């Protein structure tokens, strides 16, 4: 239900699009192929492997002009993307879990240098114990790295968002890296029907190859491209102490705030092109307006929750779902507006900060703090290590929440709960 009802005729209606059967990884690879990417540097890791495998086939077949760098580690993969993007290329990589953990140091460099790299993350649990399945612990690890983080719900959205990610990252007012998060195995390895655009539509949407922005420096009279070019040499990766570090980070923070507007714009532009959009681009709300209970969630499980919630709605239970699509920037105002009049909110986190609570929960409650009337907000930790959030479990959840709502009070020790763990 993330596809809203059509209010206009898109430039590429369904009959002009191509129906394909792909898994999430293949959809991301296909979107990358169409996005005229100059450099792909990646190291294989389950469940991301198919993205790079598939893309290397496109390279081997001569279907893309991309320079493909099969590199020796994820740290090097991101480093190669940083170098490529600094030289003006459109760069892409993909990883997850341990690979993402190894990459973390360079993630901060990509965002700090303001390089519009796009990365697909097939969310997977972090070791130990070793696990290859989908949860959000790797995504939460990169939460503060300065990347724009978009969580998708299905394979169609993985395709759509990968293309949008280049547009958002390279927007002249943004110039930040973007990660597209699809749940490992739930999306990466699940085949779904999806509509893809013809190549020329994507080319046109992205405005052709990447166009680096212009910057002004003291030593050139005219503005120059923000790229490493021997004819107009620039120094990137400079030292900045207490004199300038704060200012440079402030630029990043302010740009990240502004990115909300751009994500919304790109979502609308995509709607006009394809007829598909995902809420306002930041959050995708279902039956929230008159709801007493709202379940807040990110990623693929939103579909399961929504399908169960629909059944409760048919019975007259006023429950809704708020799927957060943009985790960074976190749409605080939108979320506060949507949740302030709700009575009970359950935030479902697929990872936890031991000793604290789920990262999504913390963001949601802090967004609500400035409201005069606030709902009760409960944190549920679910699906760690890829444990399925099954429809019966969601049924139990909504029933439990309905009881809490009747009581009208939740004691402090019941504010954090596990969903689906053996007690």
Partner 1 sequence: MSLKSWREIPIGGLGFKLSTEIKTGEWRALRPIIDQNKCTKCLICWLFCPEPAIMWDGVKVEVDYDYCKGCGICAHECPVKAISMVPESGGE
Rounded to whole angstroms, the Cα distance separating 95 from 77 reads 9
Residue 132 near residue 194 (C-beta atoms within 8 A) = no
Q: Residue 373 to residues 340, 343, 368, 379: CA-CA distances in angstroms? A: 7, 9, 9, 19
In this structure, are strands 224-225 and 118-123 parallel, antiparallel, or unpaired?
Answer: unpaired
Nearer to partner 1 by C-beta: 93 or 175? 175
Min separation Cβ 392 and partner 1, Å = 50
Residue 196 near residue 17 (C-beta atoms within 8 A) = yes
Q: Does 264 bind partner 1 (CB under 8 A)?
A: no
Cβ–Cβ contacts within 10 Å for residue 199, how many? Answer: 13
Q: Does 235 bind partner 1 (CB under 8 A)?
A: yes
Rounded to whole angstroms, the Cα distance separating 200 from 203 reads 5
Nearer to partner 1 by C-beta: 242 or 369? 242
Among positions 48, 79, 175, 188, the unique one binding partner 1 when judged by CB under 8 A? 175
Nearer to partner 1 by C-beta: 27 or 107? 107
Q: Pick the piece of the chain touching partner 1 (CB under 8 A) from 49-57, 197-205, 237-245, 262-270.
A: 237-245
Residue 159 near residue 152 (C-beta atoms within 8 A) = no
Q: Which residues of 202-240 are buried (b: 16+ CB within 10 A; e: fewer)?
A: beebbeeebebbeeeeeeeeeebebbeeeeeebeeeeee
Rounded to whole angstroms, the Cα distance separating 346 from 149 reads 22
Task: For residue 329, report the phi and psi dihedrals to the nearest 5 degrees.
Answer: -65, 145
Question: How big is the site for partner 1, counted in residues (CB under 8 A)?
Answer: 27
Rounded to whole angstroms, the Cα distance separating 394 from 305 reads 6
Q: Does 336 bind partner 1 (CB under 8 A)?
A: no
Min separation Cβ 253 and partner 1, Å = 9
Rounded to whole angstroms, the Cα distance separating 28 from 158 reads 6
Q: Does 229 bind partner 1 (CB under 8 A)?
A: no
Q: Does 259 bind partner 1 (CB under 8 A)?
A: no
Nearer to partner 1 by C-beta: 6 or 217? 217
Rounded to whole angstroms, the Cα distance separating 340 from 290 reads 11
Among positions 140, 185, 226, 382, the unique one binding partner 1 when judged by CB under 8 A? 226
Min separation Cβ 105 and partner 1, Å = 16
Min separation Cβ 106 and partner 1, Å = 15
Q: In what order do the strands lie in the sheet with 293-297?
A: 283-286, 319-324, 293-297, 344-349, 376-382, 416-419
Among positions 6, 18, 191, 215, the unique one binding partner 1 when judged by CB under 8 A? 215
Among positions 7, 222, 243, 314, the unique one binding partner 1 when judged by CB under 8 A? 243
**Which residues in 52-91 contact partner 1 (CB under 8 A)?**
none
Among positions 7, 72, 218, 221, the unique one binding partner 1 when judged by CB under 8 A? 218
Q: Does 20 bind partner 1 (CB under 8 A)?
A: no
Assigned token pair, 180: 């597209």
Rounded to whole angstroms, the Cα distance separating 228 from 234 reads 6
Among positions 50, 78, 113, 256, the unique one binding partner 1 when judged by CB under 8 A? 113
Nearer to partner 1 by C-beta: 236 or 317? 236
Q: Does 238 bind partner 1 (CB under 8 A)?
A: yes
SS3 300: coil
Q: Does 217 bind partner 1 (CB under 8 A)?
A: yes
Min separation Cβ 175 and partner 1, Å = 6
Q: Pick the piece of the chain touching partner 1 (CB under 8 A) from 128-136, 159-167, 248-256, 398-406.
A: 248-256
* Residues near partner 1 (CB under 8 A): 112-115, 175, 213, 215-219, 226, 234-238, 240, 243-248, 250-251, 254
């Amino acid at each position: 239900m993330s596809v809203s009802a059509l209010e206009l005729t898109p430039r590429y209606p369904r009959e002009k699009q191509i129906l394909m059967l792909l898994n999430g990884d293949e959809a991301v690879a296909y979107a990358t192929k169409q996005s005229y990417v100059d450099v792909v540097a990646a190291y294989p890791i389950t469940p991301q492997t198919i993205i790079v495998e598939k893309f290397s086939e496109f390279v081997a077949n001569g279907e893309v002009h991309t320079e493909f760098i099969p590199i020796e580690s994820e740290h090097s993969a991101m480093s190669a993307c940083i170098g490529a993007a600094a030289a003006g290329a459109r760069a892409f990589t993909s990883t997850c879990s341990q690979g993402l953990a190894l990459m973390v140091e360079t993630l901060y460099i990509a965002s700090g240098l303001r390089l519009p790299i796009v990365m697909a993350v097939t969310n997977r649990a972090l070791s130990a114990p070793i696990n290859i399945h989908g949860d959000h612990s790797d995504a939460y690890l990169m939460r503060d790295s300065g990347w724009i983080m978009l969580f998708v719900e299905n394979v169609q959205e993985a395709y759509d968002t990968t293309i949008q990610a280049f547009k958002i990252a390279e927007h002249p007012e943004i110039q930040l890296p973007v990660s597209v998060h699809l749940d490992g195995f739930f999306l990466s390895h699940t085949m779904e029907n999806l509509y893809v655009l013809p190549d020329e539509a994507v080319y046109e949407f992205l405005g052709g190859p990447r166009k680096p922005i212009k910057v002004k420096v003291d030593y050139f009279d005219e503005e120059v491209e923000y790229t490493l070019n021997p004819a107009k040499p620039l120094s990137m990766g400079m030292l900045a102490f207490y004199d300038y570090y704060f200012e440079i980070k402030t630029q990043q923070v302010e740009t990240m705030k502004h990115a909300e507007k751009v994500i919304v714009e790109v979502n609308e532009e995509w709607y006009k092109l394809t007829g598909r959009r995902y809420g306002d681009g930041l959050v995708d709300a279902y039956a929230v307006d008159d709801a007493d209970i709202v379940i807040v969630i990110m990623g693929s499980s939103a579909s399961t929750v929504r399908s169960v919630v629909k059944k409760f709605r048919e019975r007259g239970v006023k429950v809704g779902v708020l799927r957060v699509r943009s985790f960074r920037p976190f749409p605080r105002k939108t979320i506060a507006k949507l949740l302030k009049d709700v009575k009970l909110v359950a935030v479902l986190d697929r990872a936890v900060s031991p000793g604290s609570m789920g990262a999504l929960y913390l963001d949601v409650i802090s967004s609500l703090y400035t409201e005069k009337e606030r709902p009760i907000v409960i944190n549920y930790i679910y699906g760690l290590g890829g444990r399925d959030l099954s429809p019966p479990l969601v049924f139990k959840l909504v029933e439990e929440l309905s009881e809490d709502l009747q009581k009208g009070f939740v004691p402090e020790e019941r504010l954090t709960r596990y969903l689906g763990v053996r007690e």
